[in-house]
Amino acid sequence: MAVAREIGYQQVTRNLIAERAGTSDALVTTRLGTTDEIAQLIMREAVIRRDLTIIAQGIATNDPIAIAAPEELRTESRQALGANIPSQSAA
Specify the range with the lowest mean pLDDT, choosing from 11-20, 70-79, 80-89.
80-89
* Residue-level pLDDT at 81: 76
Q: Round to whole Å and give the CA distance between 58 and 69.
A: 10
* Residue-level pLDDT at 91: 45
Q: Round to whole Å and give the CA distance between 47 and 66.
A: 7
Domain boundaries along the sequence of the chain: 2-81
Work out the average pLDDT over 9-33.
Answer: 95
Please tell me the pTM assigned to this model.
0.83
* Residue-level pLDDT at 4: 93
